Amino acid sequence: MSEMSGAAALMAALEKEKVDYIFGLPGGANLPIYDALVDSKIRHILVRHEQSAAHMADGYARIKRKAGVCFATSGPGATNLVTGIATAYADSSPIIAVTGQVALPMIGKDAFQETDIIGVTNPVTKYAFQPRVASEIPEMVKKSFYIAESGRPGPVLIDIPKDVQQQVTKMEFPEYIKVRGYNPIVDADLSEINKACEMILKAEKPMIMAGGGVILSGAFSELQALAELLSIPVVTTFKGKGAFPENHPLALGPIGMHGHAEANKMVQEADCILAIGARFSDRTVGRFDEFGKDINVIHFDVDPAEIGKNKSVNAAVIGDVKSSLRSLIKLIPKNLRTNEEISKLWLGRKRELVNYYEDSIKDYSREITAKKALKKLREILPADGIVTTEVGQCQMWASLHFDVISPGTFFSSTGLGTMGFGFPASIGAKAARNDIPVVDIAGDGSFSMTENSLAVSVLEKLPVIVFLLNNQMLGMVAQWQRTFYNRRYSGVHQKNCPDYCKLAESYGAQAHRVGSMDELEKSLKVAIKSDIATVIDIPIDPDEDVYPFVAPGTGLKDMIIGA
């Protein structure tokens, strides 16, 4: 046992969890923690707003595949984390948020900068801890990482009163822990896997729908092996984009509100859907009562609460999807040959739809459009380059027109849809993988919300590329106002504010405004090789819409292609 303060014990416990980055901002209630940080080997990234700290920890976690850590003080510092914590919760991303709190005798007395942050975050965390004595901190840290990273991942909060941070006592650091009532390891029921196998083998028009759970479990090779073994076309949810190489012959890309038209069409014609790590969200399936009607639906998921939540299923395999898929593949006869006639007809239908919609979906004749710019980005960016997005039209254009080749190199705020997420998250991703280029596909509205993180990118030498599709408009809202509100625009124009090149340069970043595809290509090549943050300002027409489009409250069959 060692004698140390609660703050020093926190840092020692984080070091034992092999934490290498902390994203945070100090304040009065976490000053003892920041004093202990001086003696730590962990690198601290000073953010300009606590929301960005949570997003950076989130981006780090999605690439590193381990929990990211963020710090904030009490009161407004803690509440500023809430949007980032809720974003991580909605997308099942593991982060550890450590907040300072007023001293124990002051809790509940409306003390300066006091907020019941545990009560505030209860709906958007897997668990929350508040140590009452310093000796509890090492075990709580150990439990926090276990809870955040196991089962269905998610955020955990540790709220530490200031006097507990300062208390000096003997500390014991446990090697193993058990959380009473928490049993996230579930071995899949083999009878359900057998049932699923029989359904798939009997199907004439099977489809795989891969969700974010494939990425979380790292089941990339298993998914590809299953699809290739049975020649099954693969669609993804938007959260699952990147679970399957989008240049693969069996890939159809994302489905849903702004999914690929051929994917939306073909999934309606299937007779069996194997959903892997997907939650059947409204943005993916449209109307719950229409999606998968009168066909066999098989659901693989680690979270039992997802089974039947949005969609009734015919077979449910509960457990880690990576191990569940391995078990399924073992059940398929080694000498199996898919029905070549059925397979030929089904894959022929895929090619037919791809060709049809390539010619039918509305495009724009201008030299630079979102579609053309994103295809140029894909052409120039290395296959293993990491891409995240802001939220809005830029996000949906990325879904449609940027093909993910290397598994697990794309992520976005898909559940909460948090504007301002992409840029700080890209900095977190760069911290996780400083050896490869990281790009934030941005819109001007979303980027403006957290552009002060340019200071972090520059000063901390974590250079990322902001691929800014700039229409001087809150584009997604404007598109809805064009479509559903008779072009009655309200609160969406952002003309001439700001000049993003001058803004970037004021932070010490570099910037390029491009006026042609040649200029865009040159700017991308310079940015990829650069060791400084780069903003590429790409002016596009404010009337450019995203197609296809499935309107809220309608089904995939009601898709608007803009022709």
Owner of token pair 């700001």: 498
Among residues 332, 353, 340, the alpha carbon closest in space to that of 274 is found at 332
Strands (DSSP E) contained in 277-334 are: 296-301, 315-318
- Residue 288 burial (CB count, 10 A): 16
HSE value, Cβ hemisphere, 13 Å, CA-based, for 431: 33
Instruction: Check: CB of residue 243 under 8 Å from CB of residue 62.
Output: no
- The Cα 542–Cα 478 span in angstroms is 9
Q: Is 329 helix (H, G, I), strand (E, B) or coil?
A: helix
Q: Is 243 helix (H, G, I), strand (E, B) or coil?
A: coil
- The shares of helix, strand and coil residues in the chain, as percent rounded to the nearest 5, are 40, 15, 40
Among residues 370, 522, 387, the alpha carbon closest in space to that of 466 is found at 387
- The Cα 522–Cα 348 span in angstroms is 39
Cis peptide before 548 (omega within 30 of 0): yes
HSE value, Cβ hemisphere, 13 Å, CA-based, for 330: 8
Instruction: Check: CB of residue 511 under 8 Å from CB of residue 535.
Output: yes
Q: How many Å separate Cα 420 from the centre of its chain?
A: 13
Q: Tell me which residues are annotated as active site.
A: 50, 112-113, 162, 476
Interior/surface letters 211-224, b for 16+ CB within 10 angstroms, e for the rest: bbbbbbbebbebbb
- The Cα 279–Cα 308 span in angstroms is 9
